[in-house]
Amino acid sequence: MNGHSSEKSITYSSTRGCQTQKSISFRSAVMRGLAHDRGLFVPDSFPAVTPDELEGWRGLGYADLATEVIGKFVKDDEVPRDVLADIVKRSCGAFRSDEVTPLVKVDGHYVLVSYNAAFVRSEIYSYLCNICTHLMFLW
């Protein structure tokens, strides 16, 4: 929603703490998958989300919400916003449901349906589900 062309993307470091695997760019972390020390890349910091932003995100569909959330971590210095939105939209096209990961009520409990993708890389899917789950609890 907001332009952020002068902001820098968040960097990533290995969970195993190897000195050569610190402050890695988003692109490098994605291309590597795992850190060379076999750790997972995690953000070095977490962006702030204002109450107004959260409220503005409330009515967004999955692809638009994912673009906004990922856009907090990945700025134009790594992936221009229009390219990011296109990547997310095309990625969501692999799902069988427009809701991407719908919640269904089973015996009074809500269950996240996670079998709707024709192909999903589990690390990325888990990451996105984790982010969206945290956002749901904020509301």
Digit-coded pLDDT (tens) for 32-64: 888 899 999 999 999 999 999 999 999 898 889
Whether 93 is in a domain gets the answer yes
pLDDT mean across residues, the chain: 79
How distant, in Å, are the alpha carbons of 57, 95, 111 from that of 133?
14, 18, 11
- State the pLDDT confidence band at 128, using cuts at 50, 70 and 90: low
Domain count for the chain: 1
Predicted local distance difference test score (pLDDT) of residue 15: 93
Q: Is the pTM of this model over 0.75?
A: no
Specify the CATH number for the domain of residue 105: 3.90.1380.10
Give CA–CA dist 58/65, Å, rounded: 8
Whether 5 is in a domain gets the answer no
> Within 13 Å of residue 118, how many CA atoms lie on the same side as its CB?
7
Domain that holds residue 78: 12-138
Whether 104 is in a domain gets the answer yes
Whether 83 is in a domain gets the answer yes
